[in-house]
Structure 1
Amino acid sequence: MIRMSKPADTRQSIIDAVLRIIGQDGLAGVTNRRIAKEAGVSLGTVTYHFETQHELLRESLLHFVGEETRRFTELADLCRSDGIDLDGAAATVAQVAGGTEFDSTHIAPFELYVQAGRDERLRTAAAECFAAYDRLAARILGGLGVPEAERVAGTAVALVFGLQLRRLATGSPASDLVDALLLLARGASSG
């Protein structure tokens, strides 16, 4: 008996395939045929769920950031409920940064953000993503008692992205990211 996939499952399989392809070969590797093969669906199924490549890239970007935001919001809630201090926050960040290897799914957002610089249609999605990261950073920084956490949040997010890009390009350790965030948080805390 053949089991039919739910449309939401099929759509998610396609998005996951797009992120893997982008992470492996960049945007140039994203073709409907390759997506279909990677997702294990027919070519027509790809175009049924996503009429344009822009829609596919936007949804892939939003999916990745939605998952990351959910994960980091749960982490922020734990930090706040445990009354976390700066050293505890550093240990948590070290755990998360050290546990995130740069597999193809984690490389893909960098490609998508660069593409948003070239494609105005993706900028809105990128802006939504960065706004979510900023809100999360403000929440964590506020929980740590950093004054004007919302003002500092964008800087923290930029620092994280820059250091993650550096990690990706050079293989530098996650501890560099943690040290930089500690420096920022200590400076912002002292006023």
Structure 2
Amino acid sequence: MQRLPADVRRGQLIEAALAVTAQQGVAALTIRNVAEAAGVSLGVVHYHFEHKEELLTEMGQCLILEISEAMRLAFSQLVGPLELRGIAGLRELLGAGIRGLWPIIEASPDHQLLTYEITAQALRQRGAGNDSAGAIAAHQYRTMDTQAVAFLDLCAQRAGVTWSTPVDQIARFALAALDGLVLRWLVDRDSDATLTALDDLVQIIATKARQDCSPDHHLETASDPSSPDGNR
């Protein structure tokens, strides 16, 4: 068996676990079938993941970060050549990020279903008294909250606007809407309807911002070379 750096091996095991659960569901996941799928011994899996719940947590985080990366890539491709300011610019930026995640969602329905399965399994076990398993769902949503807040803050910063509602509340609302839209798409696979709904979501989120007219803001961004506007 080839020796790999720890982070590479963990990544390999997570991918193997995702492959197993995509075919058989979360309930079928065991350390043994992960080892078989990865072509390693049981001891290797146990060395990197003490128990199944730790592996499930890492799987959930991997799926979330995969979506977030697609959103950031679409956002960065739009921001580069254009100057997008004000509420209209905010809508463009939000739309780029939120629509940018759609191709990867559409291409990976099994992975999207897994995110719901992991959550449901964790909550079911929490209801049965397994608090450590129940913590998986909380960790999933903390990760999503962190990613969503960072994205919303970046959009507002680039557009020169301020959120009029606490950004963590906006993130919570947006994620709840996305959860529902993706789950509905998994049922009916109506991508056109989902994209229309995503555009509606962008419009709603943009109403929660106001134009930042502070002269100090413009002075700071003009003088700070590390800011998005500093090199204009």
Q: TM-score, normalised by structure 2?
A: 0.67
Are 2:16 and 2:34, in contact at CA under 8 Å, matched by a contact in 1?
A: yes
Is contact 1:117-1:123 (8 Å) kept? yes
Among 134, 137, 159, the residue aligned to 1:123: 137
Number of residue pairs matched by the alignment: 189
- Determine if contact 1:19/1:60 at 8 Å carries over to the other structure: yes
Which residue of 198, 202, 206 maps to 1:185?
202
Q: For residues 128-178 of structure 1, what are the alpha-carbon distances to aligned partners after superposition, in whole Å with 9 as ceiling and x for unaligned?
A: 2231243145236635658436243322211111111111122221x3233
Give unpaired runs (5+ residues) of structure 2.
127-133, 209-232
Match of 1:114 among 115, 120, 125: 120
Give distance in 1, aligned partners of 2:59 and 2:19. Answer: 10
Tell me which residue corresponds to 1:148.
Answer: 164
**Alpha-carbon distance between aligned partners in 2 of 1:79 and 1:146, rounded to the nearest angstrom:** 20
Amino acid at match of 1:166: R
Larger CA deviation: 134-143 vs 21-30: 134-143
Cα offset, 1:95, TM superposition: 4.9
Kindly report structure 1 stretches of 4+ aligned residues shifted beyond 6 Å: none
Give SS of 2:101's match: helix
Are the equivalent residues in 2 in contact too, given 1:36–1:42 (CA < 8 A)? yes
Q: Within 2, Cα distance between the matches of 1:158 and 1:21?
A: 27
Structure 1 position 170 matched with structure 2 position 169: no
CA distance in 2, matches of 1:188, 1:66: 22
In the aligned structure 1, how far is the partner of 2:162 from the partner of 2:122? 31
In the alignment, is the contact (CA less than 8 A) between 1:17 and 1:38 conserved in 2? Answer: yes
CA change 1:37–1:11 in 2 (3 A) is same
Question: CA 1:20–1:139 in 2, change beyond 3 Å: closer, same or farther?
Answer: farther
CA shift at 1:14, angstroms? 0.9
Q: Per-residue deviation at 1:55?
A: 1.1
Q: Tell me by how many angstroms 1:51 deviates.
A: 1.3
Unmatched runs of 5 consecutive residues or more in structure 1: none
Amino acid corresponding to residue 96 of structure 1 in structure 2: L
> Is the alpha carbon distance of 1:58 and 1:96 closer, same or farther for their aligned partners in structure 2, counting shifts above 3 Å?
closer
- 1:104 to partner: Cα distance: 3.0
The code of the aligned residue for 1:183 comes to D
Kindly tell me: are residues 178 and 148 of structure 1, through their superposed partners in 2, closer, same or farther at Cα, counting changes over 3 Å? farther
Bigger Cα Rg: 2
